[in-house]
Chains A and B, each alone.
Chain A
Amino acid sequence: MIVAAFPQFFAPYDPLAMDYVNLLAPPSAAHPFGTDNFGRDVLSRVLHAYTIDMQIALFATLFPFLFGTTVGAIVGYVGGATEAMFGRVVDAVITFPFLVLVIAIVSVLGPGLMNMYIAIGVVGWVFYARIVAAEVKVQKRLDYADAGRAMGYTHARIIFRHLLPNAITPAVVYWMTDMALAILLGSSLGYLGLGAQPPAAEWGVQIADGKNFMATAWWISVFPGIAIVITGLGFSLLGDGLAELLRGRR
């Protein structure tokens, strides 16, 4: 991961440089992951793509996490009719498969990374809000919330300073998982041509590039695929570790 964070120092070649002598070259000492149909070094592209895919992981989930958590905390605290209405919104969103909904929104907005972030943001916050709302509902029945009210604290203070820190753990863990999912989603959309646009190096785009050469040049698609798996696994483990850490503080 550290290697991948600074591709410019480690990648042996420029990810966009084409080498027409070595088109579709298999892995060798000069090109450990081989080259693609334009003679670009696959290793360099995989490493450079890491930056973009990390961006996708972060930006695609940051807004849903922040907005969803805030909404969820308020909905869980207020309860009643607000909560019932929110429940219907959740139902409406989860009725559609996530990917289909995102693809629909992206096709309306037009392809590109920014539009992909918007599409994921519009849909994704609901899941965070649902998790946090359920947890806040549990927490607000505990005496410390009443103690805050008996102290005359404002609702905002009780929600954000007292309840949320106790309710946010599952959302943070979900966030980590969601980052892995966002990379997969970003790659899927890249593969469909709706996310990152060529010639930018992005794992999904790379896999798509290689699909026509699967039989003869498997390395174009397989190495970015492995990168996706490893990164996704990394986030999942990070989420597990974080969950342990946050629970341990109680």
Chain B
Amino acid sequence: MAEALLSAIDVSKDFAIPRSLLQWARREPPAAVHALNGVSLDVQRGETLGIVGESGCGKSTLARCLVRLLDCDDGRVVYDGTDIATLSGAERRRFNARVQMIFQDPYSSLNPRMSVRQILSEALRVHRMRPPGEIDARVAELLDTVRLPPDAADRHPHAFSGGQRQRIGIARALAVEPEVLVADELVSALDVSVQAQVVNLLLELQDRLSLTVVFVAHDLRLVRHISHRVAVMYLGKVVEVAPTERLFRDPRHPYTQALLAAAPEIDPGRRTHRAAARGELPSPINLPSGCLFRTRCPHAFDRCRSEVPTLTPRGPVHVAACHLDHPEPTE
């Protein structure tokens, strides 16, 4: 397999929960939300990697670690052969320009006090992408790239709809001509009719600008539509990675199977009323021992309690973290 462009190696991230005075007096150990528990993931140059999982599984935290909005507690994020935690000053800024992020909420991700022109030209100026005389031309070009009218430049974000704002966010990210785009729930805040527009724009741009895209989402159909490969996350861990069609056809991890079975079925004849995974998502504060999924897994046995399963091959480019090689789907 080709050298990965961006990879997470055993990344962990905890968020400490402040202790109350009483807890402190009782000498209770400080608690923490274990958002990421040893995530390993490679992103190949030019691919679209989908990351799916339930709410609270650490998808967004992982996305933020990849662009170094968060520093990971343990493990490394490596971009083009360099550990990004070691970058500082000008090198770090160069990394920021290579790996850009698009945010989930189109309403809070744009500064309401700045016009679109100010937002875009600031990025161009700070990173010296163009000489000052060419900035206006480049702003117009960027707006055209994301299919906004040229007169959009001098309006403020509140004058735009959610879909348009998201396209402004994409234009801002593209202003610094990145190699990798990390899109965190790019369209989940948008109407379904607008989602398609924005997603198709992203696909087209990826093709034209040969971008690498990390697409974080909880919408399985959307991820299936746009990704080359899909990684499934559960409780801050990657449990399965496979090429998209293979994952959807032949999921090997019981959690992936449950997730796919839980997706709403359009055909009424195939609807089921059975819940594919039992119970609730365990608290990320007190993680289960051994396999994190064992508390909800229909196949759980003794070994799952004591031993943490690692990602092992299930095919040429297919890995899953389960002690069973091929658990039977429970339908």
Binding site for B on A (CB under 8 A): 142-144, 146-153, 157, 161-162, 165-166, 249-250
Contact = CB atoms under 8 A, between A and B. Distances in A.
A153 B111 CA distance: 14
B69 interface: yes
Interface of B: 64, 67, 69, 92-93, 95-97, 100-101, 103-105, 108-114, 122-123, 126-127, 156, 158, 169, 172, 176
Contact of A162 (B93, B111, B156, B176): B111
Contacts of A142: 108-109
For B97, B111, B158, the residue with the greatest tally of chain A CB atoms inside 10 Å of its CB is B111
A152 B108 contact: no
Contacts of B105: 143
A147 B103 contact: yes
Nearest to B158: A250
Contacts of A161: 122
A150 B92 contact: no
Looking at B67, B93, B113, B122, the one whose CB has the most chain A CB atoms below 10 A away is B113
A103 B39 CA distance: 62
B111 A150 contact: no
B158 A147 contact: no
A165 B96 contact: no
Contact of A147 (B92, B126, B172): B172
A147 B97 contact: no
A151 B96 contact: yes
20 contacts: A142-B108, A142-B109, A143-B105, A144-B109, A144-B111, A146-B64, A146-B69, A147-B101, A148-B111, A150-B100, A150-B101, A151-B126, A151-B176, A152-B93, A157-B126, A165-B113, A166-B112, A249-B113, A250-B112, A250-B158
B311 to A, nearest CB: 28
A144 B110 contact: yes
A151 B120 CA distance: 11
Contact of B111 (A149, A152, A166): A166
Pairs of residues from A and B, 5 with the lowest C-beta to C-beta distance, nearest first:
A152-B96, A143-B109, A152-B93, A142-B108, A143-B103
Nearest to B103: A143
Q: Which of A144, A148, A149, A250 has the most CB of B within 10 A?
A: A144
A162 B111 CA distance: 7
Contacts of B104: 143
Given A143-B104, A143-B105, A150 B67 contact: yes
Given A147-B169, A166-B113, 10 more contacts: A142-B108, A143-B104, A144-B109, A144-B110, A150-B69, A151-B100, A152-B127, A165-B113, A250-B112, A250-B158
A144 B108 contact: yes
A242 to B, nearest CB: 15
B113 A152 contact: no
B69 A149 contact: yes
A144 to B, nearest CB: 5
B123 A151 contact: yes
A147 B112 contact: no
A125 to B, nearest CB: 24
A77 to B, nearest CB: 15
B14 to A, nearest CB: 17
A153 B125 CA distance: 11
Nearest to B94: A152
A223 B210 CA distance: 76
A250 B176 CA distance: 27
A171 B172 CA distance: 30
Contacts of A165: 111, 113
Nearest to A152: B96
Nearest to A250: B112
A144 B126 CA distance: 16
A232 B110 CA distance: 38
A166 B108 CA distance: 12
B299 to A, nearest CB: 40
B235 to A, nearest CB: 24
A162 B157 CA distance: 14
Contacts of B101: 146-147, 150
Residue from A146, A148, A166 having most chain B Cβ neighbours under 10 A: A146
Contacts of B112: 144, 166, 250
Contacts of A144: 108-112
Contacts of A250: 112, 158
Contacts of A249: 113, 156
B133 to A, nearest CB: 22
Nearest to A148: B111
A143 B96 contact: no
Nearest to A162: B111
Contacts of A157: 126
B96 A150 contact: yes
A151 B128 CA distance: 12
Contacts of A148: 111
A72 to B, nearest CB: 17
B97 A152 contact: yes
B113 A143 contact: no
